């Protein structure tokens, strides 16, 4: 039984295979190879609202010949207090796999531990591995290097704003896996949390990141500038304070020009123009947000295929 709960759940060879198939799926999308999930039904359990994640997974499962079944907390008994154990044991009798977008990372770990079907992390408060794989695919695509994510070694990516969020954690993990230099530019109080540090130790992964409080210094020699919303789902009560302390870390034209001349700007969306990023940066040719969004479809198809091969 194989799951994809975090970026290092696959071996290096499996990761390379995922990226190879993702690029092939994109290049040959019109062919729609419907044999990879033929006849399978995959549940999609969403405890959080979604646009890109839901649509990309639903379309991807269909394009691979499978049947997506949308579930949300309000329309299942888990929303009325049924235990995770009972829920996943029942779903394991019906489904071939389960895609989950939820809050605590321990929830998705419990589903994987107690069930008997593959589980995919479509986002938790701790990690967002599908987004990271799609982003790495996009960087490879735009830099014209190769289709091998390990060729990203040595590239510098600077992440601005909430440097304790799931995207920051996932970039820390991606940096450790692929040899990238990850710079986290955020307020001192948002230095990486103990949870991700302990995670690196648990899996004997190198800490290839730094935390920088000077936003201009952080941009120096960066190949990619990246940001996310300052107020994630579940943090709305902290909105005003977060906006205040993170305002120096808005990605502006001056920040972009402090990076390499051909630096890319990335954002996992949705964006809040004028908060974490200026409208002019979003409109610049260096912004590749929609390429990132599209590549969610292709990389997730390859992830699902890999899980069915295991």
Would the pLDDT of 235 be above 70?
no
The residue annotated as part of the active site, out of 3, 21, 52, 101, is: 101
In the chain the domains, ranked by start, together with CATH numbers, are 7-127+293-309 (3.40.50.1370), 131-291 (3.40.50.1370)
Annotation marks residue 131 as catalytic: yes
CB atoms within 10 A of CB 116: 10
Annotation marks residue 296 as catalytic: yes
Would the pLDDT of 69 be above 90?
yes
Who wins on pLDDT, 123 or 232? 123
Average pLDDT over residues 273-280: 97
The residue annotated as part of the active site, out of 130, 136, 165, 268, is: 268
Kindly state the helix (H) or strand (E) to which residue 120 belongs, with its residue range: strand 119-123
In sequence order, which residues have a C-beta less than 8 Å from that of residue 266 and are 6 or more positions away? 135, 138, 139, 224, 225, 226, 287, 288, 289, 292
User: Taking Cα atoms as reference points, which of 207, 179, 212 lies closest to residue 194?
Assistant: 207
Across 82-86, 214-218, 260-264, 267-271, least confident range: 82-86
3-state secondary structure of 131: helix
What's the confidence (pLDDT) of residue 144?
Answer: 82
The residue annotated as part of the active site, out of 105, 125, 131, 164, is: 131
Residue 306 to residue 61: CA distance in whole angstroms: 13
Which tokens belong to 189?
């109080």
Confidence of residue 1 (pLDDT cuts 50, 70, 90): confident
The residue annotated as part of the active site, out of 136, 228, 292, 305, is: 228
The answer to whether the CB of 190 falls within 8 A of the CB of 164 is yes
The residue annotated as part of the active site, out of 54, 105, 296, 305, is: 296
* pLDDT digits 0-9 by tens, 238-261: 888 999 999 999 999 999 999 999
Confidence of residue 99 (pLDDT cuts 50, 70, 90): very high
Mean pLDDT of the chain: 94
Annotation marks residue 101 as catalytic: yes
How much of the chain, in percent, has pLDDT values that exceed 90?
87
* pLDDT digits 0-9 by tens, 5-62: 999 999 999 999 999 999 999 999 988 767 899 999 999 999 888 999 999 999 999 9
What's the confidence (pLDDT) of residue 49?
Answer: 85
What's the confidence (pLDDT) of residue 145?
Answer: 72
What's the confidence (pLDDT) of residue 234?
Answer: 62
CB atoms within 10 A of CB 309: 11
Which tokens belong to 62?
């269909």
Kindly state the helix (H) or strand (E) to which residue 101 belongs, with its residue range: strand 97-101
What's the confidence (pLDDT) of residue 113?
Answer: 97
Return the residue matching tokens 């947000």.
289
Confidence of residue 126 (pLDDT cuts 50, 70, 90): very high
pTM reported for the whole predicted model? 0.95
User: Taking Cα atoms as reference points, which of 33, 37, 74, 70 lies closest to residue 55?
Assistant: 70
72 class by beta-carbon count within 10 Å (0-12 exposed, 13-18 middle, 19+ buried): middle
How much of the chain, in percent, has pLDDT values that exceed 70?
97
The residue annotated as part of the active site, out of 47, 128, 242, 267, is: 128
In sequence order, which residues have a C-beta less than 8 Å from that of residue 121 and are 6 or more positions away? 4, 5, 6, 100, 108, 127, 128, 129, 130
Which tokens belong to 51?
């646009």
The answer to whether the CB of 163 falls within 8 A of the CB of 211 is yes
Would the pLDDT of 310 be above 80?
no
User: Taking Cα atoms as reference points, which of 279, 259, 33 lies closest to residue 159?
Assistant: 259
């Amino acid at each position: 039984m194989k799951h994809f709960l975090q970026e290092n759940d696959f071996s290096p060879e499996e990761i390379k295979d995922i990226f190879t198939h993702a690029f092939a799926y994109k290049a040959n999308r019109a062919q729609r190879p419907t044999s990879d999930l033929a006849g399978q039904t995959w549940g999609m359990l969403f405890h959080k609202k979604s646009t890109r994640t839901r649509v990309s997974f639903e379309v991807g499962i269909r394009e691979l010949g499978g049947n997506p079944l949308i579930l949300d907390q309000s329309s299942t008994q888990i929303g009325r207090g049924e235990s995770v154990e009972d829920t996943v044991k029942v779903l394991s009798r019906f489904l071939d796999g389960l895609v989950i977008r939820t809050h605590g990372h321990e929830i998705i770990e419990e589903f994987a531990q107690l069930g008997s079907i593959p589980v995919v992390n479509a986002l938790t408060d701790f990690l967002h591995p599908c987004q990271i794989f799609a982003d790495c695919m996009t960087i490879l695509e735009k830099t014209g290097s190769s289709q091998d994510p390990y060729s990203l070694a040595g590239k510098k990516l600077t992440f601005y704003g909430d440097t304790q969020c799931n995207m920051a954690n996932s970039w820390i993990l991606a940096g450790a896996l692929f040899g990238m230099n990850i710079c986290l530019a955020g307020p001192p109080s948002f230095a990486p949390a103990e949870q991700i540090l302990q995670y690196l130790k648990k899996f004997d992964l190198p800490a290839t990141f730094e935390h920088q409080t000077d936003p201009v210094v952080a941009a120096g020699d960066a190949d990619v500038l990246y940001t996310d919303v300052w107020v994630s789902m579940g943090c709305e009560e902290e909105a005003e304070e977060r906006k205040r302390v993170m305002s120096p870390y808005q990605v502006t034209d001056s920040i972009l020009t402090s990076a390499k001349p051909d630096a890319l700007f990335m954002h996992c969306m949705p964006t809040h123009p004028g908060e974490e990023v200026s409208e002019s940066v979003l409109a610049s040719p260096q912004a590749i947000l929609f390429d990132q969004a599209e590549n969610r479809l292709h990389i997730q198809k390859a992830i699902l295929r890999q899980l069915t091969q295991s």
